[in-house]
Each structure stands twice: as structure tokens, then as C-alpha cells.
Amino acid sequence: MKTRVPSLILGRLFIALITLTIVSFAVFFATTLLPGDTATILLGQSATPEAIAGLRTAMHLDEPALLRFLYWIVGLFQGDLGTSYANHVPVATLIGGRLLNTLKLAGLTTLVSVPLALTLGITAAMWRRTLYDRIVTIATIGIISVPEFVIATSAVLVFAVYLKWLPALSFTYDVNSFSGLLRAYAMPVITLTFGVSAQMIRMTRAAVIETLNTPYVEMALLKGASRPRLVLRHALPNALSPIANAVALSLSYLVGGVIIVETIFNYPGIAKLMVDAVSTRDLPLIQSCAMIFCVGYLLLITTADIVAILSNPRLR
């Protein structure tokens, strides 16, 4: 059994690598299907056919798509993300600062949403079928059914327009104090927390309730164990695997949610950079940003799988 755990972990890592290769293929060829010609967009409609043809040759756009994909994937493995078509600077330079801003936003959202969701999910399972459990369940279902842009727009109307507590846009360059940090990140974090926490609460509650229905937990209840001890000492350790999967799947929501949030609040992150790159058809920049989101998603899912393997007592 002990030798089985490393082989399972290596298998998950190998599957993640294969998935990343397939995703890179899909990302590259999906971006090539964007409407419009890159050279024409960059030079404008008044450009001569000779100038457009020369730019296409300089950017290797006249070469077969499969050959360009091989050049691109080899560059990725070598750490070369290419050069931006619109800005004429290395893509890594453009992404560097923006990626840090997105990681800050995702990190703050995680610090707020994970403890909040786990607390509400575990306590709802602990006191299920009570008024508290019904309130949490109804609230989470309602939040899940509301799109992110509606939550973001409502937050702007309430906190920026009516109450005037927070700015409608997120100005990160004003962050030089704790109050500046709250003003810059409050509404983006609130919007993402609502979307991330709701699904995490439901999945955590379901995992704990399923563990509470097992025979050994019922035996502990018959021996007189209190409900908090029953959940925290007996049920929760054995529900760690599904809870880890719930956290990873919910945090992977940030991959899509952060694109909407950064656009609405004009947050200078990598998602906003990718949206701007789509308008200029900056293919190397779009592809690199998309791959970063895909790598983040795969890391979360693979980490959840590894935690599930390590937390399984039968495999240990």
C-alpha cells in the first residue's frame, strides 16, 4: 500500500502534464480562429497590401499553423512567451506586474472566502434541519443563481453610488495604508467571495453530512459524544478529502470570475490585460494569459487529487 501512494501521485502529475499539452494545443488554435487579420488590424485599413504582406512575413503569420504551434510550444518550455504584436515588447514583461496584481486579488479572496465557507458549511452540517441551516442553504442557492456581473453591479450601486463608501473603480496605485488596501480591494474581493463561497459552503456541508451518516460516527453518538466533538473529532478528519476537492473546485471559479471582476472594476490584472489583447488581436499575449489561467486551474485540481490520495487512510 505504501508503494501505491507515490505511484498514484506520479500518475496524477502525468495526467496533468498530458492535459496541459492538450490545452495548449486548443488555446493556440482557438486564438487563430479569432475574426480579422492581425496585420490589417495593426496597420489599419489604409495600409497597402505590400505592407500587410511584409508584416505577416515578419510575424511568421504566413507559415503553416502547425509549424507556428511547434515554435510557440518550444518557446513556452524554454520560458520564452514571445513578443507582443501591439506593444513590441516581450510578453513576459507585460505579464509580470499584472500577474502579481491578479495573484494579490486571488490571495485576498482565498483568505476571506475559504475560512468563511468552511465555517458556514461545517456549522450548517452540525446543526442541520435547523433554522440556521435553512437560512444558509437558501442564501447559498440564491447566490449561486446570480451571475457575477450582477453581484459586481449591485456592489457598485450600493457601496459606491448610494453609500459612497468605496470607489467604483479599483485604483491599486493608491495602496499605501490599510485603509487604501480596503478601498482598492473591497469590492472586487466581495464580488469574488460571494461566487466562490456559495458553492464551497454547499459542497462542504454535503461532505460533512455524508460522513455523519457513517456507522462509526453513529457509534460515537451512542457513546454520548457531543455534536461539536462528533463533527470536529470524528467526522471532519474523514471528510477532508471531499472538502479539499470542494475548496479546489470552488477556487478554480476564480479563473473565470476574475476576468469579469477585473473588467468591471478596471482592476489592472492579467485578465484585464487579456481582454485588452483580444481587441487588438495580440495573439502571443492572449495565448500566454490563457495558458496562465489553465496552469492555475490544473494546479488546483491536481493539488486536490493529491490531498485526496494522502488523506485516504486505506492508502496510507
Tell me which residue of 145, 148, 146 sits closest to 187, measured CA to CA: 148
Three-state secondary-structure class, residue 83 = strand
| Highest mean pLDDT (candidates 35-44, 220-229, 304-313) | 304-313
What pTM value is reported for the model?
0.77
Match 492508502 to its residue by C-alpha cell. 315
Distance CA 180, CA 161 (A): 19
Question: What residues are paired with 83 via a beta bridge?
Answer: 90
- Residue 41: the pLDDT is 67
Residue type, 299: L
- Residue 134: the pLDDT is 92
Distance CA 268, CA 150 (A): 21
- Residue 135: the pLDDT is 92
> Average pLDDT of the chain?
80
Residue type, 307: V
Q: Is the pLDDT of residue 294 over 80?
A: yes
- pLDDT tens-place string over residues 152-171: 888 888 888 888 888 777 76
Tell me which residue of 256, 247, 249 sits closest to 148, measured CA to CA: 256
Q: Is the pLDDT of residue 261 over 80?
A: yes
138 CB-side CA count, 13 A: 7
Q: Is the pLDDT of residue 275 over 60?
A: yes
- pLDDT tens-place string over residues 48-61: 777 777 777 777 77
Domains of the chain: 4-29+92-310 (1.10.3720.10), 35-80 (no CATH)
Q: Is the pLDDT of residue 174 over 70?
A: no
- The total number of residues shown for the chain amounts to 316
CB 174, CB 183: distance < 8 Å? yes
